[in-house]
Amino acid sequence: MAHNSEEFVVTPWEVRGKVNYEYLIKVFGVKPLTDQVLNELKEVLGGELHLLLRRKIFFAHRGLEWAIKDIKEGRRLFLYTGRGPSGPMHVGHLLPFIFTKWLQDKLSINVYIEITDDEKFLHEPKASYEEIRKWAYDNMLDIIAVGFDPNKTFIFLDTEYMGRVYPLLVKVAKRINFSEVSAIFGFTQSTNIGLIFFPTFQIAVTFFEKRRSLIPSAIDQDPYWRLQHDIAKGLGFYKASTIYTKFLPPLTGPTGKMSTSNPDSALFLTDDDKTIYRKIMKAYSGGQPTAELHRKYGGNPDIDVAFQWLKFLFEEDDNKLKKIEEDYRSGTLLTGELKLYLYEKVVKFMERHRERREKAKELIRLYMYEGELAREMWSRDFSKW
Amino acid sequence: MAHNSEEFVVTPWEVRGKVNYEYLIKVFGVKPLTDQVLNELKEVLGGELHLLLRRKIFFAHRGLEWAIKDIKEGRRLFLYTGRGPSGPMHVGHLLPFIFTKWLQDKLSINVYIEITDDEKFLHEPKASYEEIRKWAYDNMLDIIAVGFDPNKTFIFLDTEYMGRVYPLLVKVAKRINFSEVSAIFGFTQSTNIGLIFFPTFQIAVTFFEKRRSLIPSAIDQDPYWRLQHDIAKGLGFYKASTIYTKFLPPLTGPTGKMSTSNPDSALFLTDDDKTIYRKIMKAYSGGQPTAELHRKYGGNPDIDVAFQWLKFLFEEDDNKLKKIEEDYRSGTLLTGELKLYLYEKVVKFMERHRERREKAKELIRLYMYEGELAREMWSRDFSKW
């Protein structure tokens, strides 16, 4: 669905303006992640919820109740998420991966991670294929650094895995016509025929196992899963359960999405500490112009990027977060202090990420080819699926 | 191009009515195969022309002059043809293959034969994928029986070879939009997105070598090659030279195309001699209702299926053919005699075909995987092409 309003735009290829999540829930036709659903999820997952759930950073879903029922009744699921490798990954891109890894640990199930190099090449008018492949490799290192189980995780590049999966794709493609993808993705007469075909691949991954997929993704990917629901049953497969995350607010303020074209809007996973310090210090703030005014009137954590980043990812302790929020609102905690606190958290996170990213260069062959699940997927005959 | 007139229809997916080849040349915008072009071709090929050329069964072309120039100036070409495996092959399907094999012998160059199992599955509403795969294997035996050089010929199934070639396909697909395939192939809002993407594959084969492809095909495939001409240069490849055959007239008379849905319209390559006899004897005739009338008024070889079949394929000797034509027209040669003559020719042809078809079961691995060209193509990295 290409949603357009005067204020903001959210499609799989564009996020612009200040995203109104309540409104998105309505126009996309998804369900909000209510306390009731969260409690049920908590119960089937053994009593604990990830901070991304506790704080409703994951805020909406499509058919999550089916996955909860499956878990409750002892049916296995599999996890599926992905990445379009059009540039370097930033901290915000990690949210679905961190959450997916947490679910894998909880449920001990397979994870499929699709790297859509085909889609990115087809979508970006100026991108060369070589450039996209370079980013694909680079992004995979960041994803692997999240720590998925190498025997239960299959990371694949579309252009590489297409050979195995095309017989499944034609079955999916036969059930989707131009009129549907045009209504759902906003494809027009001038859309290239590679991009028109692409949704087939993103959807087909939900049929990699003959059980239900659970898909953590950013809300902009919902159009794919809506289409998946339309065709899954006819093909004899399961409808996917999906759960949607908000976008980590850009350093530059509460509108838009972090982006490579505006490097100061985001922390990239390869930024060094000096760059991180500089970017955080100049980040959009909810504080007052001077320390005096801040002490007097207090700050606004709801729009303060540093506070939001702690909430989204970097402060795991709910009590500490609450204290920070109160102190900032009351003016006891100054903007500089808050930013420094975030900086220290981020630096620690990045240090660990860098180490793991380095190790990922050796591990990548497990996820792509040699791990248990990868080997199974490379010997799979989808013409008989 | 989906050509529609009240009298006949010729598209890659439908041939109906009595085909007017003169008119097709005009609406498709191709060139007739003139005596001048034939003479030039004769010269560069060493002074001999196949009967399909001498008798102008191949009747039109697109850019054949470029291929002739290439040969003349010592540049190698490669040959490319294919088959959509939606059912059993009949005698008429062999024309482009027989001609391609002759060119391979003359020029000692590579041949690529695409089996479009994806396209057929995507196009036929009721076809199961398993059914199409079965026909693909069956058809490949008939094609191999034609006798291509197993070290210079690569036969591939789209769904199997897609894995190697997809990186090339995305580059092709990026240059073709819906508006173009809709104008050229008549795709509409209700066309499935697999079929919309498919032309990419059929076109990409013309880029398998960094030289010009020469494509013998039925005229209904011209829309693909027209599109190929639009994009080849932009991608740094050669425009294809194509040469088009007429359709072998159906046994049932001069309208339409031979088809599986009307088994008496065609001789299938697996028909036994008894069936062949029966079909030829009841074939549409240009003779008179009785022997007496025939002797008096003579027959019309121009619409007589038996005569046309001798002309298209089964009588290699031009002098004999001329004699038969004269005798039939004058009434000396009776319809029954003509049919018997054809029957004997066909039986001899089929006998040899059956033998070769049997041997093809062992040879198939050479053409698909183990011959010199096949091995090269399976190790090709198209992401660096």
For B49-66, the DSSP string reads: --HHHHTTSEEEEESHHH
The answer, for B169 touching chain A at a CB cutoff of 8 Å, is: yes
Contacts of A193 in chain B (CB under 8 A): 173, 176-178, 181, 196-197, 199-200
Average per-residue pLDDT for chain A: 95
Any residues with CB less than 8 A from the CB of A66 and at least 6 apart, and which? A212, A239, A241
Contacts of A172 in chain B (CB under 8 A): 194
- Whether A193 sits inside 8 A of B178 (CB atoms) is yes
Chain A closest CA to B243's CA: distance in Å? 27
pLDDT for the residue B239: 98
Q: Where exactly are the structural domains of chain B? A: 3-251+370-384, 263-357
The arithmetic mean of pLDDT across residues B302-330, rounded, is 97
Please report which confidence band the pLDDT of residue A6 belongs to, taking 50, 70 and 90 as the band edges: low
* DSSP structure class, residue A366: I
Contacts of A179 in chain B (CB under 8 A): 189-190
Least confidently predicted of A278-287, B15-24, B105-114: B15-24
Instruction: Tell me, rounded to whole angstroms, the distance of Cα A364 from its chain centroid.
Output: 20
| 3-state class percentages of chain A: helix first, strand second, coil last, to nearest 5 | 55, 15, 30
Residues B191, B13: Cα–Cα separation, whole Å:
13
The answer, for B193 touching chain A at a CB cutoff of 8 Å, is: yes
Task: With a cut of 90, say whether residue A230 has pLDDT above it.
Answer: yes
Option in A171, A177, A190 nearest B191 (CB): A177
Contact A271, A89 (CB under 8 A): no
Q: Dihedral angle at the C-alpha atoms of B304, B307, B312, B316, nearest 10 degrees?
A: -170
Residues A13, B142: Cα–Cα separation, whole Å:
47
Chain B closest CA to A139's CA: distance in Å? 18
Closest among B163, B191, B380, B156 to A167, alpha carbons compared: B163
Write down the CATH number for the domain with range B263-357. Answer: 1.10.240.10
pLDDT for the residue A1: 40
Write down the CATH number for the domain with range A3-251. Answer: 3.40.50.620
Residue of chain A minimizing CA distance to B170? A194
* DSSP structure class, residue A268: B
Characterize the bridge pairing of strands B14-17 and B8-11: antiparallel
The answer, for A136 touching chain B at a CB cutoff of 8 Å, is: no
Interface test with B, best of A133, A135, A170 (most B CBs within 10 A): A170
What interface predicted TM-score (ipTM) does this complex get? Answer: 0.91
Please report which confidence band the pLDDT of residue A10 belongs to, taking 50, 70 and 90 as the band edges: confident
Task: With a cut of 60, say whether residue B6 has pLDDT above it.
Answer: no
Residues B243, B57: Cα–Cα separation, whole Å:
10
Tens-digit pLDDT profile for residues B332-379: 999 999 999 999 999 999 999 999 999 999 999 999 999 999 999 999
pLDDT for the residue B255: 78
Please report which confidence band the pLDDT of residue B7 belongs to, taking 50, 70 and 90 as the band edges: low
The answer, for B133 touching chain A at a CB cutoff of 8 Å, is: yes
Fold: same for A3-251 and A263-357: no
Residue A46, burial from CB neighbour count under 10 angstroms (0-12, 13-18, 19+): exposed
- Whether A178 sits inside 8 A of B187 (CB atoms) is yes
Chain B closest CA to A177's CA: distance in Å? 4
Please report which confidence band the pLDDT of residue B262 belongs to, taking 50, 70 and 90 as the band edges: confident
φ, ψ dihedrals at B196, nearest 5° = -60, -35
pLDDT for the residue B194: 98
pLDDT for the residue B149: 98
Tell me the CA end-to-end span of chain B in Å, nearest whole number. 30
Tens-digit pLDDT profile for residues A95-107: 999 999 999 999 9
* Bridge partners (DSSP) listed for residue B10: B3, B15
Q: What's B3-251+370-384's CATH class? A: alpha beta
Average per-residue pLDDT for chain B: 95
- Whether B163 sits inside 8 A of A163 (CB atoms) is yes
- Whether A170 sits inside 8 A of B159 (CB atoms) is yes
Interface test with A, best of B174, B198, B231 (most A CBs within 10 A): B174
Contacts of A161 in chain B (CB under 8 A): 163
Chain A closest CA to B247's CA: distance in Å? 29
Spatial strand order in the sheet of A14-17: A3-4, A8-11, A14-17
- Whether A121 sits inside 8 A of B174 (CB atoms) is yes
The answer, for B230 touching chain A at a CB cutoff of 8 Å, is: no
pLDDT for the residue A308: 97
Tell me the CA end-to-end span of chain A in Å, nearest whole number. 30
pLDDT for the residue A223: 94
Give the DSSP H or E segment for B79. Answer: strand B77-83
Interface test with B, best of A156, A161, A164, A174 (most B CBs within 10 A): A174
Tens-digit pLDDT profile for residues A168-185: 999 999 999 999 999 999
Residue that wins the pLDDT comparison between A15 and A365: A365
Please report which confidence band the pLDDT of residue B259 belongs to, taking 50, 70 and 90 as the band edges: confident
Option in B129, B166, B176 nearest A162 (CB): B166
Helix (H, G, I), strand (E, B) or coil at A213: strand
Option in A175, A182, A192 nearest B176 (CB): A192
- Angle of CA points A118, A123, A125, to nearest 5°: 120
Please report which confidence band the pLDDT of residue B14 belongs to, taking 50, 70 and 90 as the band edges: confident
Structure tokens at A258: 């972090």
Interface test with B, best of A116, A172, A178, A207 (most B CBs within 10 A): A178
Residue that wins the pLDDT comparison between A143 and B8: A143
pLDDT for the residue A294: 96
The answer, for B197 touching chain A at a CB cutoff of 8 Å, is: yes
Contacts of B159 in chain A (CB under 8 A): 166-167, 170, 383
Task: With a cut of 50, say whether residue A37 has pLDDT above it.
Answer: yes
pLDDT for the residue B201: 98
The answer, for B173 touching chain A at a CB cutoff of 8 Å, is: yes
The answer, for A385 touching chain B at a CB cutoff of 8 Å, is: no
- Whether B170 sits inside 8 A of A118 (CB atoms) is yes
Tens-digit pLDDT profile for residues A190-227: 999 999 999 999 999 999 999 999 999 999 999 999 99
Residues A145, A121: Cα–Cα separation, whole Å:
25
Task: With a cut of 70, say whether residue A92 has pLDDT above it.
Answer: yes
Chain B closest CA to A236's CA: distance in Å? 14
The answer, for A171 touching chain B at a CB cutoff of 8 Å, is: yes
Task: With a cut of 50, say whether residue A2 has pLDDT above it.
Answer: no
